[in-house]
């Protein structure tokens, strides 16, 4: 198996592999250009983000600056909005559904260093995919850790550290992030961003 295939299989792999290192360098070049496009040049931004991410749906808006490890390991659905200064640590797969809002300073992480000291010193790591369902809102400064699934219709409160799966239609907050109540889709939820 290649090191990339090992990473997708959630096996211990070497990110210093020449193929992966070259891919990261190419992503750095693309991000350098993307983050310097004039913010009002929407057509250029759309074309550039489609060349960075693995797949984008219709009406995809990613504000600048953006950081990602590879870009091509992240796919997003329709009506996607990601605000400023977000980080997609996508050595593993990040799959994001339709109608997802991501607030500023959110970090989605798929990488995990080895627990064994010698393996860690050798630079070895694992990846665990992250899945975010349709109609999710992730509030400012949240950290989404490796291997997490966030169910459709959920809201993740500001500053939360999501270490475990969040079921659909949940309001979840805190460090570690915990469900505090179910969301009722039959009414307009009264929670304001400041309360999250």
Which residue is it, tokens 């070895």?
124
The answer to whether 126 touches 164, Cβ cutoff 8 Å, is no
User: Are 167 and 183 spatial neighbours (Cβ–Cβ below 8 Å)?
Assistant: no
38 in catalytic set: no
Name the catalytic one among 38, 113, 128, 131: 113
At 91, which helix (H) or strand (E)?
A: none
Q: Are 13 and 126 in contact (CB under 8 A)?
A: yes
User: Which of 25-37 are b and which e, b meaning 16 or more Cβ less than 10 Å from the residue's Cβ?
Assistant: eebeebbeebeeb
Q: In a 3-state reduction of DSSP, which class is residue 56?
A: coil
Residues involved in catalysis:
113
């Amino acid at each position: 198996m290649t090191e990339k295939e090992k990473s997708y299989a959630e096996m211990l792999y070497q990110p210093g592999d020449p193929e992966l290192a070259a891919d990261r360098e190419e992503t750095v070049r693309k991000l350098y250009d993307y983050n310097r496009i004039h913010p009002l040049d929407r057509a250029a931004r759309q074309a550039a983000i489609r060349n960075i991410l693995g797949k984008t749906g219709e009406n995809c808006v990613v504000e600048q600056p953006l950081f990602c490890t590879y870009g091509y390991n992240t796919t997003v659905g329709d009506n996607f909005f990601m605000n400023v200064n977000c980080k997609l640590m996508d050595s593993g797969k990040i799959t994001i559904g339709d109608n997802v809002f991501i607030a500023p300073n959110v970090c989605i992480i798929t990488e995990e260093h080895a627990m064994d000291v010698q393996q860690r010193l050798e630079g070895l790591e694992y990846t665990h995919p992250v899945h975010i369902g349709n109609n999710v809102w992730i509030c400012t400064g949240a950290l989404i850790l490796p291997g997490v699934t966030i169910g459709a219709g959920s809201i993740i409160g500001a500053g939360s550290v999501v270490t475990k799966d969040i079921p659909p239609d949940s309001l979840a907050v805190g460090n570690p992030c915990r469900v505090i109540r179910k969301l009722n889709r039959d009414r307009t939820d009264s929670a304001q961003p400041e309360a999250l």
